[in-house]
């Protein structure tokens, strides 16, 4: 692999990892603060992507579609929290799994009814449609660089909000001791709504950003969800730092696993098996630290 190809793959890996972080970060935040496992989190990613496609067709601009899409997904998040999730905070994980699994079936069918089962492409906005030449023959699309930049910006913003603001202080306190926060007169219900809507918006936004790159297709949410689970298991549940590290690690392993031709003991390994590399990594982490890299020790 020459240096330019390597650079391109590295950029791809980082871009994929950062996007994954947006989705997984929301998942781990919702669990860390509210104690809820949300299987439907991937559906929000899918909904974001379909909104980006459908709204940009209607409005004629991906920018407007993203603004409207984020607003819609926050509204959806608040509605779902009020309808379903607020009943789950003190329930066994089993019921959270069941309810959110039911929601997945509902979202998948609604998607099929509303938007059909075809695969759709989403056009990159004019401003970002070019590519940057790396050598005479190879160049890198501007849009992918832009996604990475936006994700880095959002990650920094998230870090700032959680570590440096009053809201972040409440969020951190709510994660470690719900009763205490309540006793101090903070509206824990409102805190939950904010965190949940934030998580939904992040996942949906990731879907919108990814739409022009990965296209829009049925089942895309579940695909992302499984990888997010791997991110959370590797990074440690509830840890934003862990989610970032694990997402970048998975970006690298997955991207390079597909490019580097493996040869073990003289036999070429099937390129399809590269997809398993992230799961092998998860297995290794579970052997080493069952609670994940930055996870709290399990009892």
Partner 1 sequence: MSVRGGALMLVTALAALLLLPFVAEKFYVQFATKVLVMAIFAASLNLLVGYTGLVSLGHAAFFGIAGYLLALVTPQYEAADLWSSLLLAVGAAALLALVVGALVVRTSGIYFIMATLAFAQMLYFLFHDTSLAGGSDGIYIYVRPQANIGGWRPFDLENFRHLYFVVLAMFVLVLGFLRALVDSPFGRVIAGIRVNEQRMRALGFATFRYKLVCFVIGGALAGLAGYLSAVQFGVVNPDMLGWHLSGSALMMVILGGMGTLPGPVLGAVTIMLLELGFQSLTKHWQLLMGAVIVLVALALPQGLAGLVALPGTARARDDG
Which residues contact partner 1 (rule: CB under 8 A)?
A: 31, 37, 84, 87, 91-99, 101-106, 108-110, 112-113, 222, 226, 229-230, 232-233, 237, 270, 272-273, 275-276, 279, 282-283, 286-287, 290-292, 298-299
Nearer to partner 1, 157 or 273 (CB): 273
CB 63, min distance to partner 1, A: 33
Give CA–CA dist 146/247, Å, rounded: 18
- What angle do helix axes 93-115 and 220-235 make, rounded to 10 degrees? 150
Is 206 or 231 the residue whose CB approaches partner 1 more closely?
231
CB of 101 to partner 1, least distance (A): 5
Q: How far is the CB of 228 from partner 1 (least distance, A)?
A: 9
Residues 277, 257: contact at Cβ < 8 Å?
yes
Q: Which is nearer to partner 1, 112 or 165 (CB)?
A: 112
Q: Which is nearer to partner 1, 78 or 108 (CB)?
A: 108
144 neighbors 213 (Cβ within 8 angstroms):
yes
Shortest Cβ 141–partner 1 spacing (Å): 26
Sign, Cα dihedral of 273, 235, 36, 73 = negative
Comparison of 31 and 143: residue with beta carbon closer to partner 1: 31
Choice between 166 and 297, CB closer to partner 1: 297
Q: How far apart are CA 240 and CA 24, in angstroms?
A: 9
Q: Which is nearer to partner 1, 37 or 49 (CB)?
A: 37
**Backbone φ and ψ of 184, nearest 5°:** -80, 0
- Residue 286 Cβ vs partner 1, minimum distance, rounded to whole Å: 5
CB of 22 to partner 1, least distance (A): 18
Neighbours of 197 (CB within 10 A): 19
Q: How far is the CB of 35 from partner 1 (least distance, A)?
A: 9
């Amino acid at each position: 692999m020459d240096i330019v190809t390597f650079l391109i793959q590295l950029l791809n890996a980082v871009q994929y990892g950062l996007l994954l972080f947006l989705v997984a970060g929301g998942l781990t935040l919702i669990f860390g603060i509210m104690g809820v496992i949300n299987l439907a989190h991937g559906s929000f990613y899918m909904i974001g992507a379909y909104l980006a496609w459908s709204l940009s067709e209607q409005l004629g601009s991906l920018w407007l579609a993203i603004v409207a899409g984020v607003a819609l997904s926050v509204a959806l998040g608040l509605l779902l929290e009020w309808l379903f999730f607020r009943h789950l905070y003190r329930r066994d994980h089993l019921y959270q799994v069941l309810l959110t699994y039911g929601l997945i079936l509902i979202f998948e069918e609604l998607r099929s009814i509303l938007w059909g089962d075809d695969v759709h492409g989403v056009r990159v906005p004019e401003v970002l449609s070019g590519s940057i030449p790396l050598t005479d023959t190879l160049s890198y699309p501007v849009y992918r660089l832009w996604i990475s930049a936006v994700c880095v910006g959002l990650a920094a913003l998230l870090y700032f909000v959680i570590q440096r603001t009053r809201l972040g202080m409440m969020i951190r306190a709510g994660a470690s001791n719900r009763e205490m926060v309540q006793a101090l007169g903070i509206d824990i219900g409102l805190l939950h709504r904010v965190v949940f809507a934030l998580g939904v918006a992040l996942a949906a936004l990731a879907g919108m950003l990814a739409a022009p790159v990965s296209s829009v297709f049925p089942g895309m949410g579940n695909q992302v969800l499984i990888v997010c689970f791997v991110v959370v298991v590797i990074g440690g549940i509830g840890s934003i730092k862990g989610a970032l590290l694990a997402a970048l690690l998975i970006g690298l392993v997955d991207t390079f696993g597909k490019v580097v031709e493996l040869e073990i003991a003289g036999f070429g390994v099937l390129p399809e098996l590269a997809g398993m590399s992230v799961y092998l990594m998860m297995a290794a982490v579970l052997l080493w630290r069952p609670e994940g890299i930055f996870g709290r020790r399990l009892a």
